[in-house]
Structure 1
Amino acid sequence: MFGRRLIVAAATAVLMAGLGACGGEGGGGGTGGEDPGAVTDVGRSDTGTVRQAAPSPDTVSGLRDSVRHLAKKTTKATRPHLVKKCTSATRRVRHTERTGTGTRRTTRTWYTTERYRTCKKVRSGTETYTRTVRSQRWCVSLDNVDGDTAKDDVWYQVARATYDEARGADEHTRMEFTPTATGC
């Protein structure tokens, strides 16, 4: 009974492997020998004309509307001041020594005092420090984002170089960049 199941399982595996190999060879798979992991239909359309590949989903384009620079915002705050406090202590250490063999074996035991220090951080008042409330941001606002006329005045946080480029450009100049975040 077990041998029959094993034979049926092996035959099924061979049959599936054979069908899988035939499926991708232009017969019914439709890929025409292309890599199954490759991106297909990029640059093709039904009319036979070549389409442009879509830009990266992270890239946005539109008409420059305005720019904004938000400076770093900080405030003074307090936190516990921690100091390192060490204490010295001693402990008794036991030592043993064995000499001889057989019936003449002896064991000598003696004790010594060992000094050690333990350190830990303890709170000792408070300290004042500068806390960052908002990091520095460079922002650009676009109209007609990705060609959609309904998407106007959309703010994006950008790198300093992109901000400088947008600042020097005229209003309603077409720009394309990769934002670091949305909103401002």
Structure 2
Amino acid sequence: MNTFPIIETERLILREVTNEDALAMFDYLSDQDVVKHMGLEPYKTPTEVLEEINWYQLIREEGTGIRWGITLKNMDTVIGSCGFLNMHPKHYRAEVGFELSKLYWGKGIAKEALKAVLDYGYKHFELERIEALIEPLNRPSQRLVEKQGFIREGLLRHYEFTCGKFDDLYMYSILKESFFKS
């Protein structure tokens, strides 16, 4: 497998997540406020986070996704992640996902990371369409993708079964042409 791509922005380094990042990731993945719209229960131990890291590695190996750890340039601690899943190269589309430690909410970090990942997806994976599936109550994520130019296409009723319940999800998308116009 080729080298994991590193993305650098003004304030961030997006890099591969390793098992050594489990403790830092546990800090935010154990926070109910962070995971409540991700279809996950808060993680109870750092060891559980290793399953998440293994999933990141698996989707990359399978070619169905890639997930970057978000770090600030002045510290190498993972404070969130952003990347693609459900990639369909044949159809030139993928789904984007992201989460960020509550300590860093409202500072434009998620926006900066998302923009860099979208740019990478269009240029390196030659994607035409990038989707985001977001719970109706997750207004901050809806605002984030809308500011990047995503369009809400509709509501997918009872689309996922997570945490013992069926979740409705809004389908958002942005096309390559729209991203590079903004």
Give the TM-score band, short-chain normalised. Answer: under 0.3
More helix by percentage: 2
Larger Rg belongs to: 1
Q: Which has the higher contact order (CA 8 A, sep 6+)?
A: 1
More strand by share: 1
Tell me the TM-score normalised to structure 1 length.
0.21
